[in-house]
Amino acid sequence: MKRLRGQVARRCRFLPVLWAIGIQVVVLAPGFARSGIQPAQHVARVDNQWAIVQSVFLVDPEAGTYDAASSWGQIFTGKHQDTIDRVLAGSFRRRG
């Protein structure tokens, strides 16, 4: 995730004194449902005013399921996270 954050920041020409970047991550991960990986382990815990992973959606196409976790910041990005969740729910069953 750290590498992803850095690449997103560079491609967006990020200037940390002006704003932070909220990143929503969707990963197709065959076999994830059996792995024990928790999306909550990969979202930002604090606002560092940099490129921040605000939500992670892990999709297991083999199991037909997905799981998700979000951090703070839903005032601005909650509608985007809700949309991603709705789209995934149309094809996959949410775990948990």
Mean pLDDT of the chain: 86
Domain boundaries, the chain: 2-94
Q: What is the pLDDT of residue 37?
A: 87
d(CA 49, CA 9): 11
Where residue 75 falls among pLDDT bands split at 50, 70, 90? low
Residues 32-71 pLDDT 10s? 888 888 899 888 887 777 788 899 999 999 999 999 999 8
Q: Are 57 and 85 in contact (CB under 8 A)?
A: yes
Q: What is the pLDDT of residue 1?
A: 77
d(CA 21, CA 74): 13
* Burial class (CB within 10 angstroms; exposed 0-12, middle 13-18, buried 19+) of 27: middle
Beta strand segments in 1-96, E: 21-28, 51-60, 65-70, 93-94
Span 10-37, average pLDDT: 85
Query: Which of 54, 56, 61, 53 minimizes the C-alpha distance to 28?
Result: 61
